Amino acid sequence: MARPSHRSPRRSFFHRPSPGPSGRGRRAVVISVSVAAVAAAVLVASLVMAFRSDSEAGARYTAATPATGARVTDRPTPPERKPSKGSPTATASATTPAAATAATTATTATTPPARPSARDTPRAVSAAAPLAGRIRPDATYQGVATHYDAGTGDGACLYGPSDDLMVAAMNHTDYEVSKACGAYVLVRAAGGASVTVRITNECPLPCAPGQLDLSKQAFAKLAELSRGRIPITWSLLSPSTSDTVSIRYKTGSSPYWCGIQVIDHRNPVARLEVRAGSGWRRLPRTEYNYFLSADGSGCGGAIRVTDIYGEQLTINGIALRPDAVQPTRVQFARH
């Protein structure tokens, strides 16, 4: 039904038509009421449809758009940032004994212990041998064995001739400025054969870390000399012995300069000190296995010797006699 032109006069429900003889006034009122009712119905229907459309659109948007919480949850979690060396956490781990112990316990629980390597520099020091250097107890080292003509058994450690030719030369790296001198080492070959040797010499470069150059007599205990080079493992020993420690002053020693050597010690020697005034003075060690007092301080006086386990032997009564082996009555404990 066409809507009346806006130019037509507005009709009202309260308009009273003028009476007429044919009753057309009453019919006009009825028609006006019908038109108004139809228009109202159309308007209500339109409003309902519009509201329904808006509701469906809102529902579709809600289903297609995740909630804010869902987007945060789905976002990839950033990787954990490890503390740098300069961070407080890293510093605490390095300096706090409790933290270090916890870290060690965690590592031990999740990973197998690494085999000690002769190439590790610096090496960790065993708690049982706080003064040990590269060679420490309770560790097995891998390397190769070669052989050389040991002659009288003397070598870079300057112990002098020996009737016992079960000796070896330690590679330059593990020789560690003569710290290996006098150490007893158990050497094992791949086939199960073994021999115990004493370190009396140095095997210079290119002898590799872990390598031992055995006397021919010692090498023959493991394999035929014709093989020349065999894989081995070796470890430090603290053997039983009836010998006691001896002291020797180097040729040319005097009250103004002296060199002091320790001989026949069961365990490797870590340091040597001489009595100086009311205290002790530590002497530097040379690569030829003497401890030197360049100004003569302590020469001819009391001597204190310490092994890698920390045991100290105080020795008195050693005369300042160059190139003379002077036995004592003391020896380091066995480990």
Query: Residue 315 falls within a domain, yes or no?
Result: yes
Query: Residue 23 falls within a domain, yes or no?
Result: yes
Query: Residue 216 falls within a domain, yes or no?
Result: yes
d(CA 182, CA 167): 10
Reported as a pLDDT band with limits 50, 70 and 90, residue 109 is very low
272 φ, ψ (degrees, to nearest 5): -135, 135
67 φ, ψ (degrees, to nearest 5): -70, 160
Q: Does the pLDDT at position 26 exceed 70?
A: no
Is 299 in contact with 257 (CB distance < 8 Å)? Answer: yes
Residue 226 DSSP code: G
Residue 159 DSSP code: -
Could you tell me which residues come within 8 angstroms of residue 245 by beta carbon, excluding any fewer than 6 positions away? Answer: 262, 263, 264, 265, 305, 313, 315, 327, 328, 330, 331, 332
**Strand 194-203 and strand 184-189: pairing?**
antiparallel
Whether residues 67 and 146 fall in one domain = no
Q: Residue 127 has what pLDDT?
A: 64
Q: Per-residue pLDDT tens for 33-77?
A: 454 555 555 555 554 444 444 444 333 333 333 333 333 333 333
Q: Per-residue pLDDT tens for 228-237?
A: 999 999 999 9
Q: Which of these three, 211, 237, 263, is where a domain ends? A: 237
Query: Residue 2 falls within a domain, yes or no?
Result: no
- As for how many domains the chain has, the answer is 4
Which residues are registered as beta bridge partners of 198? 167, 184
Whether residues 62 and 95 fall in one domain = no
- pTM for the full model? 0.64
Q: Per-residue pLDDT tens for 222-281?
A: 999 999 999 999 999 999 999 999 999 999 999 999 999 999 999 999 999 999 999 999
What is the CATH number for 196? 2.40.40.10
Query: Residue 60 falls within a domain, yes or no?
Result: yes
CA distances from 114 to 4, 29, 99, 184 (A): 101, 108, 21, 24
Whether residues 172 and 108 fall in one domain = no
Q: Does the pLDDT at position 118 exceed 60?
A: no
Reported as a pLDDT band with limits 50, 70 and 90, residue 5 is very low
Q: Per-residue pLDDT tens for 145-183?
A: 999 999 999 999 999 999 999 999 999 999 999 999 999
Q: Which domain holds residue 282?
A: 246-327
Whether residues 163 and 188 fall in one domain = yes
Query: Residue 291 falls within a domain, yes or no?
Result: yes
Query: Residue 6 falls within a domain, yes or no?
Result: no
Whether residues 96 and 181 fall in one domain = no
Helix (H, G, I), strand (E, B) or coil at 261: strand
Is 210 in contact with 115 (CB distance < 8 Å)? Answer: no
Query: Residue 334 falls within a domain, yes or no?
Result: no
Q: Per-residue pLDDT tens for 127-136?
A: 689 999 999 9
